[in-house]
Amino acid sequence: MLHPFVDRRAELQSLSRALPPAVSALFVLYGRRRIGKTELLHHFLADRPHVFFTGDLGTPLQHVRGLSERLGAHLGDEFLSSGGTLDWGTLLAYLEAHPRPLDLVLDEFPYLCQASPALPSLLQSTWDRTWRTGETRLILCGSSVSFMEQVVLAEPSPLFGRRTGQMRLRAMDFWSAREMLPHLTDVEAVEAWACLGGTPAYLAKLRAARNLSEGLIAQVLDPVSYLHEEPRLLLHQELRELKHYFALLASVAAGNTRLNEIAQDVGLETGHVSRYLDTLMRLELILREVPVTEKSPERSRKGLYRVADPFFRFWFRFVRPNVTELQAGEAEWVYRERIAPHFDHYVAPAFEDLCAAWVLRRGRAGDLPFRPARAGRWWGGANDMDVVAFDDQWLLVGECKWSRRKHGSETIRALAERAANLPGFERHRRMYCLFSRTGTTLFDRGANVLHVGLDALVGDRMG
């Protein structure tokens, strides 16, 4: 059964601006595997005649013949249809000699370059001679972030300076992900987000499950399931020295957040760990988080590391440590005994991220008394706060409760007392928010106190 294309409105608008008809363009689209690049391009090009060719681990001759046949069928060209071109140089020269408007997608471009290392140079020459002034719209798409950034986008690349636009496709936000799982309850939607994030291919695997636990057991914990080895496969695609990166991700997922802690836990020098962490941050698998009020985050000494990708966080927290039991066919036991007792504690940080994102969205929509410049966590001594948002005149401080018991005015009073010690906001007007799993949404505008329940949070509204 085909499922409807969900969201990506901003990305589609960007593609429309970058790739207008009848104008030459060289566009680079990249992002980690399963993020939805191919589906996005198919959706964008659905009403435009185009040629879509996906690279694989074949030989250069197989690649050229396959693309020639597709081009021939699209252009009505018997020579190309017969597979008469035997190499990239001949194919590109023929297309130059017979110029026609063309939308061409080379998907999984790194595979094509792996088989034919000279391909970027050949495309650069063709672009410089004829395509840049014609009506060719060439889209290079790839899942290896490292390759696309270093070989296609970086200055040493032959294609450097030729691209007319680029996009790194990222995961969907919570509210778009929610559209993919309408059968889940609001609680399960937040839990699913905490486990799988906004990667479309991961979320799609839960559509057939009656509930979240059934989906995680069948699609992640089962050793033969689609997602069981996904982190290992993705890291293998991007990195060398996998054992070090695995060790670092496992350490951070286990709760080690400072550089020295991580280095001691994995038994490596801090200099080496720092470089490995930088690579994982570039891949957006690790995040270095600082208090939201820090004016120079990159220079702050208060940075804490955490696993940025929810699915990697879930996998390294619950799948990798239980591999022996899972390989023995004990997936249901692992979920019941090793995951369920800790699940609420695991989901809580993702709930905090979601609450901060909600504050930004509602502020930008005009539902709050001010439009926050930033929103996020703050910590300093014993006065840690889940959500802090501010502008030049207002300060919002929020508490996030993923527990199953109800919270009310006593929580707000305690929050106000802690917020009184927040430095740098002595003259700001104050607003207090309580985000809870069990509460009902209510905004007391006179007291500037906002209670946010799951109904408003998941529904992306004020009340």
CATH entry 3.40.50.360 includes domain 347-459: no
Give, as one character, the DSSP assignment of residue 403.
S
The SS3 call for residue 138 is strand
How many Cβ atoms sit within 10 Å of the Cβ of residue 170?
14
| 352/359 Cα distance (integer angstroms) | 11
pLDDT number for residue 233? 92
pLDDT number for residue 4? 54
pLDDT number for residue 216? 96
pLDDT number for residue 251? 96
> Which of these CATH numbers, 3.20.20.10, 1.10.10.10, 1.10.20.140, 1.20.120.10, describes 176-346?
1.10.10.10
pLDDT tens track, the chain, 463 positions: 345 566 788 999 999 999 998 899 999 999 998 999 999 999 999 999 999 999 998 899 999 999 999 999 999 999 999 877 789 999 999 999 988 899 999 999 999 999 999 999 999 999 999 999 989 999 999 999 999 998 899 888 899 889 999 999 999 999 999 999 999 999 999 999 999 999 999 999 998 888 999 999 999 999 999 999 999 999 998 888 899 999 999 999 999 999 999 999 999 999 999 999 999 999 999 999 999 999 888 888 899 999 999 999 999 999 999 999 999 999 999 999 999 999 999 999 999 999 999 999 999 999 999 999 899 999 987 789 999 999 999 999 999 999 887 777 788 888 898 888 888 898 999 999 999 998 788 888 888 899 999 999 999 888 7
| 249/283 Cα distance (integer angstroms) | 12
| 400/345 Cα distance (integer angstroms) | 12
Domain boundaries, the chain: 9-168, 176-346, 347-459
The answer to whether the Cα torsion of 357, 362, 363, 364 is positive or negative is positive
C-alpha separations of 403 from 10, 181, 351, 437 in Å:
35, 23, 11, 7
Report the half-sphere exposure of 92 (CA within 13 A, side-chain side): 18
Q: What is the DSSP string of 144-169?
A: -HHHIIIIIISTTSTTTTT-SEEEE-
Contact of 239 with 279, CB cutoff 8 Å: yes
Give, as one character, the DSSP assignment of residue 19.
S
Contact of 450 with 444, CB cutoff 8 Å: yes
Q: What values do phi and psi take at 286, rounded to 5?
A: -120, 145
pLDDT number for residue 5? 64
Instruction: Provide the CATH topology of domain 9-168.
Output: Rossmann fold (3.40.50)
E-strand spans in 163-285? Answer: 165-168
How many Cβ atoms sit within 10 Å of the Cβ of residue 20?
10
Starting at the edge strand found earlier in the chain, the sheet holding 449-452 runs 374-378, 385-390, 394-401, 429-436, 449-452, 442-444
| Widest CA span in the chain | 78
Q: 121, 209, 199, 111: which is closest to 162 by C-alpha?
A: 121
Element (H, E) at 130: none
Contact of 219 with 226, CB cutoff 8 Å: yes
